[in-house]
């Protein structure tokens, strides 16, 4: 094996722009005569990685790794020394004759095969009247954009890439290993991507590591087909958008993560070059680390549907531990970045990104929107967000969010903090929220009075049917208590409180016991309270129905005749804003 002259190596090292090279992997900031960033070799929140352009060296005070441009490339890209020297040489304009006597590295061979395929696909898109160009035109992507993103078209043939590799004398096995070709059971090989618009997925140095393919022919499945995972295409860390996004991320000090190749292109067309798309996988640890080295601010732009919202929560799980500041942008329902851009222009898309909420706020709002009226629901909301809050590395930030959740659900910050602590230890966060009776509204207060009256004077239960009363109570827990209690009420014997409690949930039983322990209730007042409460509940439910009908009538497709008929079947109801007089127990 011939060796590269020491002199040549020295020359390459001198010419290499080490700040530019390392800056592709790590976001660097100038600090005096050196540059600082977060170390790519170990996980850290505060920058301890230093680059000295004057000496052409780097050093990490955290993990003690250091070296020059060549060792950096070897480490980052798993290259052998000669591979790294050659790669760097090519960048600074010093060609080194390839050593044909020794075997080429695996990755170099796969990259060579990919380069051939990329040329094929580019040529495919240049053929007049090809379906790929028609498809791109229909999606509003002009020739300039297609050129800039290296988009191509894989012709609907079995052997386009097979033939091209053969012409370049690249072994067919390399094409298979690169995921470009598949093997026939009967022997022989065929192209994996056919009849598809192709997206070259590049590493930070601009080399094609894999391809995405979008179906453009009628009835073609699946809609998206990527080349498979290979030694150079590691989907757990790859992003579509490099190397173009590098400079834009540095300038904008943020990255925007999307799920589709076209989304990435739409962002770019709207003037936001800092977009990166995952390649057919959910965000992983490796992605998070990849992002963290470049910028702490990340905006997630996922679909507004249920699946997109869940994807945001899953992404937070991997990103929060890395101290990333994650925001979530939401598109109008049914839109993707592409359609919004087409319809309303670049400004509209930019507004959506700039208005992105901190993703945790977003998740908290979503959990609260599912309902947190009863103590049990509150505990559920806290239990849903606590595991995410537990992942925030900064204690200050975590505390802020605990306070925020407490306000949102109407609980105490200390309870939320305790729930988060439990989640950190892998325990059930629900147990940390005391499900104490909340400060009750008039309905809850009245139903409690009703229960108290029935406990003291069970014979008055006989005046009403159980189902009728229970049907009037909005809160499910209170409804259950009333049902079990009324069922157990007999005219001349006291209520067996523990017997009723045994048929209830723990919290419901506790409420029943606390009401049974209250002061005695004068019989006349109790009777009046029971009657008044039932009447009051009836009016309240009828008001609810009216309100629902009014809402329905506002809808454009409302059937007015039917609605008006059902609105007032037996005269109007009076105002229910005041609760009934409650005797001595108010
Ligand atoms: Zn380090």
Which one of 2.40.128, 1.10.860, 1.10.260, 1.10.287 gives the CATH number of domain 442-584? 1.10.860
Q: How many other CB atoms are there within 10 angstroms of residue 3's CB atom?
A: 9
CATH 3.90.580.10 fits 6-92, yes or no: yes
DSSP state of 39: -
Sign of the CA dihedral running 327, 333, 335, 340: negative
Per-residue pLDDT tens for 199-236? 999 998 889 999 999 999 999 999 999 999 998 999 99
- Separation of CA 71 and ligand 1 centre (Å): 14
Quote the CA–CA distance of 313 and 330 in Å, as a whole number. Answer: 13
Helix (H) or strand (E) holding 325: strand 325-330
- Separation of CA 381 and ligand 1 centre (Å): 39
Per-residue pLDDT tens for 383-429? 889 999 999 988 888 999 999 998 888 888 888 999 998 888 887 77
| Token pair in block for residue 66 | 């250091």
- Separation of CA 65 and ligand 1 centre (Å): 6
- Separation of CA 545 and ligand 1 centre (Å): 65
Q: Which of 108, 237, 120, 83 is nearest to 178 (CA)?
A: 108
Domain coordinates in residue numbering, the chain: 6-92, 106-226, 239-362, 370-432, 442-584
pLDDT at 410: 83
- Separation of CA 38 and ligand 1 centre (Å): 8
pLDDT at 584: 39
Quote the CA–CA distance of 227 and 231 in Å, as a whole number. Answer: 12
- Separation of CA 433 and ligand 1 centre (Å): 41
pLDDT at 508: 85
- Separation of CA 30 and ligand 1 centre (Å): 18
- Separation of CA 343 and ligand 1 centre (Å): 46
Contact 296, 324 (CB under 8 A): yes
Bond before 213 cis per omega within 30 degrees: no
Helix (H) or strand (E) holding 16: none
Taking a 5 Å cut-off on Cβ, the residues next to ion ligand 1 are: 39, 41-42, 60, 62-63
pLDDT at 576: 41
Contact 419, 412 (CB under 8 A): no
Q: How many other CB atoms are there within 10 angstroms of residue 473's CB atom?
A: 22
Contact 294, 252 (CB under 8 A): no
Distance between first and last Cα of the chain:
97
- Separation of CA 44 and ligand 1 centre (Å): 8
- Separation of CA 60 and ligand 1 centre (Å): 5
- Separation of CA 47 and ligand 1 centre (Å): 9
- Separation of CA 258 and ligand 1 centre (Å): 29
- Separation of CA 295 and ligand 1 centre (Å): 17
- Separation of CA 251 and ligand 1 centre (Å): 24
Quote the CA–CA distance of 234 and 340 in Å, as a whole number. Answer: 31
pLDDT at 569: 52
Instruction: Write out the E strands in 460-564.
Output: none
May I ask the CATH class of domain 106-226?
alpha beta
Model confidence, pTM: 0.65
Per-residue pLDDT tens for 36-56? 999 998 888 889 999 998 888
Contact 122, 150 (CB under 8 A): yes
| Token pair in block for residue 476 | 């499910």
The CATH number given to 239-362 is 3.40.1360.10
- Separation of CA 290 and ligand 1 centre (Å): 14
User: Residues in the chain with pLDDT < 70?
Assistant: 1-2, 97-104, 433-440, 554-558, 560-561, 563-586
Q: Which residues contact 281 (CB under 8 A, 6 or more apart)?
A: 235, 236
pLDDT at 165: 97
- Separation of CA 476 and ligand 1 centre (Å): 56
| Token pair in block for residue 180 | 């470009």
- Separation of CA 293 and ligand 1 centre (Å): 11
Instruction: Write out the E strands in 237-296.
Output: 239-240, 255-258, 275-278
Q: Which residues contact 561 (CB under 8 A, 6 or more apart)?
A: none
| Token pair in block for residue 293 | 């080295």
Contact 64, 54 (CB under 8 A): no
- Separation of CA 50 and ligand 1 centre (Å): 9
- Separation of CA 37 and ligand 1 centre (Å): 10
- Separation of CA 62 and ligand 1 centre (Å): 5
SS3 572: coil
pLDDT at 439: 41
- Separation of CA 396 and ligand 1 centre (Å): 25
Query: Counting Cβ atoms within 10 Å, is residue 67 exposed (0-12), middle (13-18) or buried (19+)?
Result: middle
- Separation of CA 296 and ligand 1 centre (Å): 17
pLDDT at 556: 66
Quote the CA–CA distance of 413 and 434 in Å, as a whole number. Answer: 12
Quote the CA–CA distance of 198 and 114 in Å, as a whole number. Answer: 12
Helix 337-344 and helix 261-269: axis angle, to 10°? 30
Q: What is the DSSP string of 51-108?
A: EETTTTEEEETTT--EEEHHHHHHHHHT--HHHHHHHHHHHHT-------SSPPPHHH
- Separation of CA 76 and ligand 1 centre (Å): 13
Quote the CA–CA distance of 168 and 160 in Å, as a whole number. Answer: 13
Q: Which of 378, 380, 384 is nearest to 410 (CA)?
A: 378
């Amino acid at each position: 094996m011939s060796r590269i002259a020491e002199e040549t190596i020295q020359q390459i090292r001198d010419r290499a722009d080490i700040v530019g090279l390392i800056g592709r992997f790590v976001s660097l900031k100038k600090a005096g005569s050196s540059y600082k960033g977060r170390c790519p070799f170990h996980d850290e929140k505060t920058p301890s990685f230093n680059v000295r352009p004057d000496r052409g060296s780097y050093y990490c005070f955290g993990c003690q790794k250091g070296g020059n441009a060549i060792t950096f490339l070897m480490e980052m890209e798993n290259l052998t020394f000669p591979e790294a020297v050659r790669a760097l040489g090519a960048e600074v304009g010093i060609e080194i004759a390839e050593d044909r006597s020794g075997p080429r590295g695996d990755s170099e061979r796969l990259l060579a095969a990919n380069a051939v395929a990329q040329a094929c696909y580019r040529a495919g898109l240049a053929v007049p009247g090809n379906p790929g160009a028609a498809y791109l035109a229909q999606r509003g992507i002009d020739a300039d954009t297609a050129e800039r993103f290296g988009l191509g078209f894989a012709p609907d043939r079995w052997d386009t890439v097979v033939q091209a590799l053969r012409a370049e004398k690249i072994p067919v096995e390399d094409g298979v290993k690169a995921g470009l070709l598949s093997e026939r059971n009967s022997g022989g090989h065929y192209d994996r991507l056919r009849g598809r618009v192709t997206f070259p997925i590049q590493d930070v140095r601009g080399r094609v590591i894999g391809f995405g393919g979008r179906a453009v022919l009628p009835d073609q499945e699946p809609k998206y087909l990527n080349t498979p995972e290979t030694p150079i295409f590691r989907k757990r860390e790859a992003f579509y958008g490099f190397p173009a996004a590098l400079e834009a991320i540095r300038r904008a000090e943020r990255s925007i993560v999307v799920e589709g190749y076209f989304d990435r292109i739409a962002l770019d067309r709207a003037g936001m070059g800092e977009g990166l798309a995952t390649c057919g996988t959910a965000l992983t640890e490796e992605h998070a680390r990849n992002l963290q080295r470049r910028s702490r601010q990340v905006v997630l732009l996922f679909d507004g549907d249920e699946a997109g919202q869940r994807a945001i929560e899953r992404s937070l799980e991997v990103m929060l531990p890395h101290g990333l500041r994650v925001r979530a942008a939401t598109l109008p329902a049914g839109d993707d970045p592409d359609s919004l851009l087409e319809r309303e222009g670049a400004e509209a898309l930019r507004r959506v990104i700039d208005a992105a909420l901190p993703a945790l706020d977003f998740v908290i709002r979503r959990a609260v929107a599912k309902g947190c009226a009863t103590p049990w629901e509150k505990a559920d909301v806290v239990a849903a967000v606590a595991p995410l809050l537990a992942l925030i590395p900064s204690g200050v930030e975590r505390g802020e969010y605990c306070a925020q959740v407490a306000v949102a659900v109407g609980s105490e910050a200390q309870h939320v903090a305790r729930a988060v602590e439990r989640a950190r230890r892998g325990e059930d966060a629900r147990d940390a929220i005391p499900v104490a009776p909340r400060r009750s509204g008039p309905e809850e207060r009245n139903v409690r009075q009703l229960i108290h009256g029935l406990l003291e004077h069970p014979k008055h239960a006989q005046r009403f049917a159980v189902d009728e009363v229970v049907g009037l109570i909005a809160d499910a827990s209170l409804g259950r208590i009333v049902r079990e209690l009324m069922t157990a009420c007999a005219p001349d014997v006291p209520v067996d409180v523990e017997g009723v409690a045994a048929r209830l949930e723990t919290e419901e039983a506790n409420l029943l016991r606390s009401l049974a322990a209250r002061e005695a209730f004068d019989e006349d007042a109790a009777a009046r309270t029971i009657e008044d409460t039932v009447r009051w509940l009836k009016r309240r439910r009828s008001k609810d129905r009216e309100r629902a009908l009014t809402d329905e009538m506002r809808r454009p497709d409302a059937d007015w005749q039917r609605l008006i008929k059902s609105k007032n079947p037996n005269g109007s109801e009076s105002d229910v804003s005041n609760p009934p007089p409650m005797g001595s127990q108010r």
